Structure 1
Amino acid sequence: MSIRLRQIALVANKLAPVIDDLKAVFGLEVCYIDPGVGVFGLENSLLPVGNNFIEVVAPIKEGTAGGRYLKRRGGDGGYMVICQCESHAAQLERRERAAAMGIRIAWERESDGYHVMQLHPADTGGSFFEIDWDAKCEPEGHWEPAGGSGWRKAKRTEVVSAYSAVELQSPDPAGLAERWSKIAGVPVRKDARGRLEMALDNASVRFVEATDGRGEGLSGIDMVVADRAKLNSAAERREYKTTGDQLTICGTRFYLVQPNG
Structure 2
Amino acid sequence: MTRIRMRQLVIAAETLETADHLRTVLGLGKPFADPGVKEFGLENAVFSIGDQFLEVVAPTTDDAPARRFLDKHGEGGYMAILQTEDLADARARLDNAGIRRVWNIDLDDISASHVHPADVGAAILSLDEARPWNSWRWAGPNWEKQSVRGHIGGAIFSAPDPRALASRWTAAIGKPVTTNKGQTSIQLDENERLIFEDGKREALSTFCISLHNAMKALERADRLDLHSDGDGVVIGGVRFELNNLETASAG
Whichever residue aligns with residue 70 of structure 2, its letter is: L
TM-score (norm 2): 0.93
Q: Do the aligned residues in 2 keep the contact of 1:222 with 1:256 (CA within 8 Å)? A: yes
Deviation track 1:67-126 (CA, whole Å, cap 9, x = no partner) reads: 0011121x110000101112xxx2122211111222111111112322111111011112
Distance in 2 separating the partners of 1:146 and 1:111: 15
Distance in 2 separating the partners of 1:156 and 1:113: 24
Q: How many residues align?
A: 245
Residue 6 of structure 2 is aligned to residue 5 of structure 1: yes
The within-5 A match list for 1:34-49 is 34-49=34-49
The match for 2:59 is 59
The match for 2:172 is 183
Structure 1 residue 231, shift from structure 2 partner: 1.5
Distance in 1 separating the partners of 2:199 and 2:228: 21
Distance in 2 separating the partners of 1:146 and 1:119: 21
The match for 1:132 is 128
Residue 237 of structure 2 is aligned to residue 245 of structure 1: no
The match for 1:104 is 100
SS of 1:224 mapped into structure 2 = strand
> Structure 1 segments of 4 or more deviating over 6 A?
none
Q: What RMSD over aligned residues (CA atoms) do the two structures have, in Å?
A: 1.5
Q: Do the aligned residues in 2 keep the contact of 1:199 with 1:205 (CA within 8 Å)? A: yes
Distance in 2 separating the partners of 1:36 and 1:108: 14
The match for 1:194 is 182
The within-5 A match list for 1:12-91 is 12-15=13-16, 17-73=17-73, 75-86=74-85, 90-91=86-87
The within-5 A match list for 1:202-213 is 202=190, 203-211=192-200
Listed as ranges, the gaps of 5+ residues in structure 2 are none
Listed as ranges, the gaps of 5+ residues in structure 1 are none
Structure 1 residue 167, shift from structure 2 partner: 1.2
SS of 2:108 mapped into structure 1 = coil
SS of 1:220 mapped into structure 2 = strand
